[in-house]
Structure 1
């Protein structure tokens, strides 16, 4: 039997894992993200980054990096907005993606060629520590929920039988149980790898702004949130009759993020927490209303209404607006 975190790692990142090869996101995939919902998501984050450059917190030579980029839509949307708001930055900035899977790197390169031709040079890195930039603005969407986790229940951790996919709470992983005790968990998920990831991020650039969006809360849940997404249907992991062998590697498996754990990991690595907000508040403060006003001024009412309806999904408290959170970390900013 193996720890659940190892089982989940194989499910998502093994040779035949769910994320090892390109998967469609959106209507044709298993789930939607903010990126697949509206290009104004990336445009708003880009507008915020430009405001930091204009205020002197970052320089025009900042390296824009996405982590967990899938096909690269978010980074592409951000670059497209730079071209509209501050095109001179395209001459000074560098653009990159941290991606460990060769198949996804190819999909990202192909997408950038189809979208930008040879106008944008896309750099790739397999690890954040390879970037080595002087200054960087780093963005990630739904990355922390994709870290393998252990499951704890009444002082025991979950073990999985490889062949049958049976889950039994018979383990005693000291690190997982220590984290569970720290966050007051008797039952639930304990993410593994946040600490190592935060340390690797601290080596990405001397001066760094890291903005990430994900679903969860600033405290651990007291029950199991872990679930499987397949064809836009949601299946709780412990649903009776669920065939894990059939779903293994062919579907997404995820859980609610404990942002207190994320924040502790980054602050231990030397970062300052610059913000923790709902997605609604974050996008509003980053300038989304201003971007929509600019669109309205173009005079195309049909386009405006269509994009406004997409944006509502991002900020509606009943959909993504309150459930999703933004966390921002900074390192050595003047």
Structure 2
């Protein structure tokens, strides 16, 4: 029997794991993300980054890096907006993706080639420590929920046998200590936030890290872990669910305990700069300004089409309240 975190790691990142090879996201995939919903998601984050450069909190030589980039849409959308709002930055900035799977690196390179030709050089890294930049703006969308987690229930941790059956017979001291810290008797305990934060801290002398994900400030008192397949959601402990059949062929995720994320990053040396809903974050990052610019173009059909997409990002009943932004700084004045 193996700990659930090891089982989940194999499910997502093993040789035949779900994220080891390119998977479609959006209508043709298993789920939607903010990136697949509207290009204005990336444009708004880029607009915010440009504002930091204008305020001299970051310099024009900032390295823009995405973690967990999938095909590279988010980074591509950000670069496209930079080209519109501050094209001079394309001459001074560098762009990169942290991606450990060669198959996904190839997909990202092909995508950037088709979108930008030879005008944008894309750098790849396996580990954030390889970046070695003076300044970096690092962005991630829905990666915090993709860290393997352990499951705890009444002082025991989950073990998984060769038949994919889950039994609460483990006594992982580290997982139980984390659960105790956040008052969890039942639920998920993410593994790896601490090492991730420590590694990212070494990426540059100055860092802004922004991440969007779903979850709450405090740990949930119940299991949220679930499986996405063909836009259907299956709770992990749903009766009749076939884990053997779904293993590696579907996404498995859970709600983020952002208090754990904050503690991990602050423990690594970062300061927490912001924690807010996606609705508030995108509004404060400048989304209304971008919509106003789109309206001035005079193409009413384009404006209405994009406005409908953006509603999904900010509607409190959809992504607006459920998704959160968390932002960390290192040496940002």
The TM-score, its normalising length taken from structure 1, stands at: 1.00
SS for the counterpart of 1:206 is: strand
* Mapped partners of 2:262, 2:330: distance in 1: 13
1:286-325 map, 5 Å: 286-325=285-324
SS of residue paired to 1:12 = helix
Q: Deviations over 1:228-255 (max 9, x none)?
A: 0000000000000000000000000000
Partner of 1:181: 180
Residue 122 (structure 2) aligns with = 122
| Aligned match of 1:191 | 190
1:178-236 CA-partner distances (Å, limit 9, x unpaired): 00000000000000000000000000110000000000000000000000000000000
Secondary structure at the residue paired with 2:178? helix
Q: Distance in 1 between matches of 2:258 and 2:236?
A: 22
SS of residue matched to 2:8: helix
Q: Whole-Å Cα distance in 2 between the matches of residues 208 and 240 of structure 1?
A: 45
For 2:141, the equivalent position in structure 1 comes to: 141
| Partner Cα separation in structure 2 for residue 76 and residue 25 of structure 1 | 16
1:25-74, CA deviations, whole angstroms, 9 ceiling, x for partnerless residues? 00000000000000000000000000000000000000000000000000
The 5 A counterparts of 1:259-274 are 259-274=258-273
Moved over 2 A (4+): none
Secondary structure, counterpart of 1:170 in structure 2: strand
1:78-97 to 2 correspondences below 5 Å? 78-97=78-97
Distance in 1 of aligned mates of 2:204 and 2:37: 30
The 3-state SS of whatever aligns with 1:89 is helix
Q: What SS is found at the alignment partner of 1:220? A: coil
Counterpart of 2:58? 58
Computed over aligned residues only, the root mean square deviation of the Cα atoms, in angstroms, reads: 0.3
Structure 1 portions without partners, runs of 5+: none
In the alignment, the residues of structure 2 paired with residue 119 and residue 101 of structure 1 have an alpha-carbon distance, to the nearest angstrom, of 24
Q: State how 1:1-334 maps to structure 2 within 5 Å.
A: 1-162=1-162, 164-334=163-333
Unmatched runs of 5 consecutive residues or more in structure 2: none
